[in-house]
Structure 1
Amino acid sequence: MMIGGGAGEYVVTVESDVEIRNLIDSGQDEEDFTELTVGGQACEYPTTYLVNLEMVKMAIMEIFFETSAQLNWGIIVK
């Protein structure tokens, strides 16, 4: 699991042997991009990938503690 960002905007990515999952905020415009600094490097991310801290916490609970947070994930099959 990779969590990056700050100041209320975060990107959450989970990678396995078979897929890459990005946490999605479905309330955002799919065509917009926002600059976010992750790991000291500024990058343009789809605005749908930017989530708040509460969604980050729910993603941690879902991935590591197998709770059902009913989050939206964009899935890229490898």
Structure 2
Amino acid sequence: MSVNFQHLAPIIAACVTTGGIVFQIGKQSERLETLGFKVQAQEKTHRTNSDAMNDMNQKLTILTNDMSHIKRDIHDIKVNMKI
């Protein structure tokens, strides 16, 4: 039972090609893993910025309400002084 190189060559080529594909998939998965960490870091930064913006918005709303109350009080004082 002899095996010719012509019969053996396609099998070797298929094995080498399969090995190359598996290697390239491994490289791509490593790149995707690296990108995953970057996306998580950006989400954390976005959350931090969002929390800061919400805090500023709440403080601005409180100040706006305080100013409207002060305006109403000043108006009431002016009305009472005219009488």
TM range (shorter): under 0.3
| Rg larger for | 2
**TM-score, structure 1 as length reference:** 0.19
Q: Which has the higher strand share?
A: 1
Q: Which of structures 1 and 2 has the larger relative contact order (alpha carbons within 8 angstroms, sep 6+)?
A: 1
